[in-house]
Structure 1
């Protein structure tokens, strides 16, 4: 291994059944991936999307998990991995003509954010 920088296993936070579609969440996650902890929070604060609040809460939760488990400085943390996956649909019915029910599917997603810290081994 030598003097190469090695990524330590970080702490993560998982949000299940978030009431946002995957495509809308993916545009936020793509912007914060590989950013530092502070930079990700600042950029989320100024993005105009509703789902930014949820992602910011996940980053804060992952940072709290990192401070409990790994004890790094928050300035050393960065978003190493972040991904979004499909979850279940919230199913509703809308009344239509001749007594029929029209299904409405409201999408949800699962968001995972993993924070890591960089360390240099000598």
Structure 2
């Protein structure tokens, strides 16, 4: 049985989020939570909340045993960007892309 949790439009770039997501992919749930708890990155806190949500979904909706769950898939996809302009010399402007992410985590029995 595979259970998912999704966070859409997270205000962090997918590239930064994937650095953290690659560390927990394939690990047991307890080990993944421990890695995320002690990681100094901003993405770790966001991914930690989504992982806890996936665990709660598995326990509440399907009666899964938490000790047997593993992180099977961590998908970080691009969300629509916020586009801004920064003033530059001689009346010009440079585009700034503020990137967003869609984070999906799937947990499964061993």
Question: TM-score normalized by structure 2?
Answer: 0.91
Q: C-alpha root-mean-square deviation of aligned residues, in Å? A: 1.2
Query: Aligned pair count?
Result: 110
Higher helix share: 2
Deviation at 1:82, TM superposition (A): 0.9
Match of 2:93 among 97, 101, 107: 101
Mapped partners of 1:38, 1:95: distance in 2? 47
Mapped partners of 2:64, 2:49: distance in 1? 19
Aligned twin of 1:35: 27
| 2:90 maps to 1:90 | no
Deviation at 1:52, TM superposition (A): 0.3
Aligned twin of 1:58: 50
Question: TM-score normalized by structure 1?
Answer: 0.83
CA contact (8 A) 1:11 1:69 kept: no
Q: Which consecutive residues of structure 2, in runs of 5 or more, have no partner in the other structure?
A: none
Q: Which consecutive residues of structure 1, in runs of 5 or more, have no partner in the other structure?
A: 1-7
Mapped partners of 1:28, 1:82: distance in 2? 10
